[in-house]
Structure 1
């Protein structure tokens, strides 16, 4: 049973979010809270009980979403908890501020229950490791090809990923790197404009050791920050389901962590949906 802390002062929005989550995800427990103060108080009161994720509104009384996010990401014992902010505001300044503070994803509140279901599918895949096929073909808001970098040292997995992505999302421009060293060389060779054109990075944690994957995650974050480029979403896709690896990845600002299944083809069949969610459901900083 995975817990989701749903934090929103609007009763109707909480109801829609709860119904959507319960319609697509099994074995979840939703804890409803109405402001950031309650969220921080609950976490403080039961430090041994952690949610699988926090889904939080921005505009709330007492302690708003931005303030609660800042408090969560400033503490070593809470930094690894994934936080998805969903808000009515599309203001780029607020979106950028949320990512600067370490939010894992930002979603503009949908206008329909269908939109809430889409949001629930996205967070279920990205943060709960529950694979719920969306169905249909990959699509984006425009015809511009999306640029994806996949860092995967297992050649068999790389071949399978290439095949499925080419089959299901032919418009995607996918670049594969096979090691920490090759990935560093690739990104170092890019100029600022080319780096800013990357829409998503999918990173295998064990390259072949976890230290290499974690070091690369840190290097990528610092490199993009030094270049003044808005945060590129980094999704860790690993065979490890160990909490140590999951917490370490989130603590170092991975946007999401997905576990490969025993049958790789099953995990990789959802790469298309993963790319689609980060393209058309989740809002990113301006120029991203």
Structure 2
């Protein structure tokens, strides 16, 4: 049974989010809270199964979402729980601050039913590993000029991933790296402008061992900090569904963790959908318009 903690002081908003999630995600329990302090107290006192995700409003009384997020990420025993912040604000400064505080994703609060369904779909795909038929996911926007880096040491998987992405988004630029070492060499070869042009990074955790993947996640964070630019979303896509691997990846600030299906092509067929989610539904700090040489 998957579990989501929904934190929002607005009863109507909680109802809309709950209905959207329940319409798409079966066997998912949603536990509601009205402020950040209530959430933290429950997490400290509860012995129940940890949530797969905390979906939290930013503006709440007593303790707001940013304060609660900061408290969560300051505690080593809670740092691995992914947090999606939801807010009416579209301010670049607010969005950038949310990610600096450790948010896994930032979603501007929808105003339509379709918007709530898109939010639910983003949650399902990125945090619950629920793959829905394409007919339920909406359409993709133009992805021409976007750059996706795939770091995958299994050549068959890498080939399939690129095939599925280019099938649905032929204008999208796919950059494949076969190991943590080649990925580091690639990023170090880029100047600041080219680094800022990376729009999504998809990383296999076992490269070929878990340590290489985790070390690369930590390195990527420091690389973008040293460059002084916001990092692109980093999505781990692994055959491992073990909780220790998922928790370790989130502790190192992976934005999302997807488990490959028994037939990897089944999950790879949703890669363009994954791109659309991060570029259309989830807000990320804006970067300068530029390209990779």
TM-score by length of 2: 0.95
1:89 is displaced (CA, Å) by 1.0
Q: Which residue of 2 aligns with 1:82?
A: 82
Gaps of 5+ in 2: 289-293
| Alpha-carbon contact 2:206-2:238 (below 8 Å) kept | yes
Q: Which residue of 1 aligns with 2:17?
A: 17
Kindly provide the CA deviation profile for residues 93-127 of structure 1, in whole angstroms up to 9, marking residues without a partner as x: 11111100110000001110111001100110100
Q: Secondary structure at the match of 2:40?
A: helix
Gaps of 5+ in 1: none
How far apart, CA to CA, are the structure 1 residues paired with 2:208 and 2:127?
Answer: 24
Kindly provide the CA deviation profile for residues 18-59 of structure 1, in whole angstroms up to 9, marking residues without a partner as x: 000000111100001000011101101115531110000000
Q: Which residue of 1 aligns with 2:140?
A: 139
Counterparts of residues 39-78 of structure 1 (less than 5 Å): 39-47=39-47, 49-78=49-78
How far apart, CA to CA, are the structure 2 residues paired with 1:83 and 1:240?
Answer: 21
| 1:271 equivalenced with 2:280 (yes/no) | no
Q: CA RMSD in A?
A: 1.3
| Alpha-carbon contact 1:108-1:282 (below 8 Å) kept | yes
How far apart, CA to CA, are the structure 2 residues paired with 1:200 and 1:102?
Answer: 18
How far apart, CA to CA, are the structure 1 residues paired with 2:138 and 2:70?
Answer: 37
Q: Which residue of 2 aligns with 1:209?
A: 209
TM-score by length of 1: 0.97
Q: Which residue of 1 aligns with 2:226?
A: 226
1:219 is displaced (CA, Å) by 0.4
Q: How many residues align?
A: 287
| Alpha-carbon contact 1:133-1:270 (below 8 Å) kept | no
How far apart, CA to CA, are the structure 1 residues paired with 2:144 and 2:191?
Answer: 20
Q: Which residue of 1 aligns with 2:35?
A: 35
| 1:235 equivalenced with 2:230 (yes/no) | no
